[in-house]
Amino acid sequence: MSLLSSITGASCPRVATVLLVSMLSVISDAVLRSRDYRALPDSRSFTDIMKFLGAFTLVFLQLFALFYFIALLPGPLRAIALLFSVFLVIVQLSYWQTLSQFMTGTDLYLSVTVSGAHRIEAILSFFKPQVLVYALPYLLILSLLLFVPPVSDAGMTIALSILLLLYLFVSNYVLFRFVPERSFHLNPLTSFLRAIAQCAFESRQRYQGIRDSLPAFQVSQRPLDSVIYVIDESVRGSNLSLNGYPRATTPFLQSLETEGRLINLGICVAASSFTHISNAYLLSGHNEFPDTDFRTRKNPTIFDYAKTMGYETIYIDINRVYLASLKKAAGDGPVRSLDSWMNENSFEEQQIDLEVTKDSGVARVLSAILNKGGGYFIVVNKKGLHFQYCNNYPDDTASTIWTPVMKTLESIDPGPTGREKLVNSYDNGIRYQVDEFFRVFVSETTNQNYVILYTSDHGQTLAEHGQRYTHMKADPEIVDVPDFLVSSEQYARQGLLDDIEPGIRVSHLNNFATLLDLMEVPLALRVRSYEKSIFALTTGDNSDRCYMSGSLHGSGDYTLHSIPTPPGDGWGHSLPVGAVPGSSNEH
Ligand SMILES: [Zn+2]
């Protein structure tokens, strides 16, 4: 029996059933996600119509190939494949209900690289029981494949399977090269395959080599001061009373400002709405969007500069976002320019339970290091305020200042009552994870020659415009983050801080050179042209501040945006509980 007749002739009921299942799947997707289909660009140009038809045919044939492949599987395997497909449909529809999109390659990359706790939190925040009703039509349609008669010839089954899988591979490569990932989805299953392919093709292109090195430089002695870079998690700048938020979320920081020990740089624009992207930019000093040349993987890290300047370098990574990639690059050897690193396990060994102490446990460890002497450069990726917020502050009356709050496992409801609980929980979290962190650190640190540069990886939507998601999309409120400097009473280089020009607008990109200036890195040692430091910025530099979303290296779901000067649209102000977004505040 020839291959051709196997597809068309003898297996005609198979082809007909698979075709029917494919068409019903397309129709049910169009019905379930009708608003997405209505929002498709309404272009009448001949080229656009041809492009659309081309992509449609390619993806429809993918659907056919996938279902035909499933139909070739023997009975029990076929049932397992169908159950797994229904599971994927549920995951994809949950994602779509929350974020108005199916999973992209970037989302998939994150879901396999982030720590276990984050993954569980993400699943809990996305899953809603109603999605099971949405998945029911798929279950019924896919179960038709159970009735397709099997192919009797084993050799033919294998040949056909290889052909179908080859088509799925090649067609996904064509999509990867020519069709933007956000623009076209016909089905949750083919969309998932596409995300896997996108992720795989992207990671094959990624730079895996050694980072650029710094010129040789001799320092005579270990520096006397210590420089600490605190990168918080999910802290929105405009929810700090330090930045004018009406609730007293950061009274301690305000008291430091009054004493002249805190210099507030106002609302900063984060590099991205994703944790791993912001961290990549913050620690490598790269300053162009996207990172097409893999500079975030090629540039020397901030640790390289600190080590060269004679500092003892420490990385405290409670969030497990960036250290992992540095560790991987180091293989079995030590991470370059890093004297020591700590993660949750190191805290456990010291019998500090971060589940109980949260970030105040981190503050105590930081104080203990500094109290031993000077000359430390420390980067801290704090635990911060990842959703669910109530897990990030102690469950006692002293820490639950604003009520009612959300319960653990409760998902985001953007209605007025739901939003009140969401914001109350978040504000309690800010008070504990941000204000209390600094109170503990400052009061327990006896060493008085240090400076801290503080920011957050990205902010949160807080359902301000009805969003059910917290971050990972391009909404401008997600890149609203704090940026300030805290110095000790006898910080040796206080004069540098006092000369910062008032009224400058900062972005994440300004932080790298700021750290270099704080460590007195000579210009001859700086191997890249970094964005201006905060000490060099003037109000004359105030212009649009860019940020990116999606794929770090510019493929797939990559998008570029900017916050204009002046920001407008209420950007940089967080909507308090009970307030209704005015029409002028709508994005
Ligand atoms: Zn984050």
Q: HEC states along 422-454?
A: HHHHHHHHHHHHHHHHHHHHHHHCCCCCEEEEE
- Determine the pLDDT at residue 1: 44
Residue percentage of the chain with pLDDT more than 70: 93
Ligand 1 mean position to 118 CA, how many Å?
10
Domain-embedded: residue 554:
yes
Ligand 1 mean position to 434 CA, how many Å?
15
183 and 328 fall within a common domain:
no
Domain-embedded: residue 221:
no
| Whether residue 134 has pLDDT greater than 50 | yes
pLDDT in tens, 189-198: 999 999 999 8
Ligand 1 mean position to 223 CA, how many Å?
32
| Whether residue 586 has pLDDT greater than 70 | no
| Whether residue 518 has pLDDT greater than 90 | yes
255 and 107 fall within a common domain:
no
Domain-embedded: residue 483:
yes
192 and 232 fall within a common domain:
no
pLDDT in tens, 204-259: 888 888 899 999 999 999 999 999 999 999 999 999 999 999 999 999 999 999 99
Average pLDDT of 440-462?
97
Residue percentage of the chain with pLDDT more than 90: 63
Decide: 336 and 308 in contact? Cβ < 8 Å: no
Sheet holding 340-342, edge to edge: 262-269, 480-487, 450-456, 226-232, 376-381, 312-317, 340-342
- The conformation of residue 273, written as its DSSP 8-state character, comes to S
Ligand 1 mean position to 98 CA, how many Å?
18
Listed residues 145, 172, 205: the one ending a domain: 205
pLDDT bin (cut points 50, 70, 90) of residue 124 is low
Ligand 1 mean position to 69 CA, how many Å?
39
- Determine the pLDDT at residue 43: 63
Which secondary structure element, helix H or strand E, spans residue 546, and what is its range?
strand 545-549
Exposed, middle or buried: residue 332 (CB in 10 Å: 0-12, 13-18, 19+)? exposed
Listed residues 175, 205, 235: the one ending a domain: 205
244 and 378 fall within a common domain:
yes
| Whether residue 334 has pLDDT greater than 90 | no
Ligand 1 mean position to 465 CA, how many Å?
20
Ligand 1 mean position to 387 CA, how many Å?
10
pLDDT bin (cut points 50, 70, 90) of residue 7 is very low
122 and 239 fall within a common domain:
no
Other C-beta atoms within 10 Å of 560: how many?
13
Ligand 1 mean position to 276 CA, how many Å?
7
Listed residues 205, 235, 255: the one ending a domain: 205
- Determine the pLDDT at residue 581: 65
Ligand 1 mean position to 274 CA, how many Å?
6
Ligand 1 mean position to 26 CA, how many Å?
35
Please tell me which residue, 40 or 132, carries the higher pLDDT value: 132
pLDDT bin (cut points 50, 70, 90) of residue 95 is confident
Ligand 1 mean position to 120 CA, how many Å?
15
Question: What's the mean per-residue pLDDT of the chain?
Answer: 89
pLDDT in tens, 416-448: 999 999 999 999 999 999 999 999 999 999 999
Ligand 1 mean position to 114 CA, how many Å?
10
Domain-embedded: residue 195:
yes
- For residue 355, the SS3 value is helix
Ligand 1 mean position to 113 CA, how many Å?
13
186 and 248 fall within a common domain:
no
Average pLDDT of 9-29?
84
328 and 427 fall within a common domain:
yes
Enclosing domain of residue 482: 226-577
Q: Which of 385, 390, 490 is nearest to 434 (CA)?
A: 385
| Whether residue 504 has pLDDT greater than 90 | yes
187 and 237 fall within a common domain:
no
Ligand 1 mean position to 426 CA, how many Å?
15
Ligand 1 mean position to 248 CA, how many Å?
24
Whole-angstrom Cα distance, residue 253 to residue 526?
33
Exposed, middle or buried: residue 446 (CB in 10 Å: 0-12, 13-18, 19+)? exposed
Tokens of 530: 């970094």
| CATH number of the domain enclosing 355 | 3.40.720.10
411-428: burial string, b at 16+ Cβ within 10 Å, e else: bbeeeeebbbbbbbbbbb
- Determine the pLDDT at residue 587: 35
Provide the domain count of the chain. Answer: 2
pLDDT in tens, 270-296: 999 999 999 999 999 999 999 999 999
Please tell me which residue, 569 or 300, carries the higher pLDDT value: 300
Average pLDDT of 65-86?
93
Strands (E) located in 65-219: none
124 and 235 fall within a common domain:
no
150 and 293 fall within a common domain:
no
Ligand 1 mean position to 229 CA, how many Å?
16
Domain-embedded: residue 587:
no
CA-to-CA separations, 128 to 120, 123, 132, 294, 465, in angstroms, rounded: 14, 10, 8, 38, 20
- Determine the pLDDT at residue 583: 41
330 and 364 fall within a common domain:
yes
Ligand 1 mean position to 91 CA, how many Å?
21
167 and 30 fall within a common domain:
yes
Which secondary structure element, helix H or strand E, spans residue 377, and what is its range?
strand 376-381
Ligand 1 mean position to 133 CA, how many Å?
32
Ligand 1 mean position to 458 CA, how many Å?
6
Domain-embedded: residue 216:
no
Ligand 1 mean position to 227 CA, how many Å?
23
Average pLDDT of 500-505?
96
Ligand 1 mean position to 107 CA, how many Å?
13
Please tell me which residue, 336 or 334, carries the higher pLDDT value: 336
Ligand 1 mean position to 277 CA, how many Å?
9
pLDDT bin (cut points 50, 70, 90) of residue 84 is very high
- Determine the pLDDT at residue 47: 82
- Determine the pLDDT at residue 288: 97
Domain-embedded: residue 51:
yes
Please tell me which residue, 205 or 460, carries the higher pLDDT value: 460
Ligand 1 mean position to 427 CA, how many Å?
17
Average pLDDT of 367-386?
96
| Whether residue 5 has pLDDT greater than 60 | no
Domain-embedded: residue 214:
no
Show the DSSP H helices in 323-451 as ranges: 323-330, 344-349, 354-357, 359-370, 416-430, 437-444
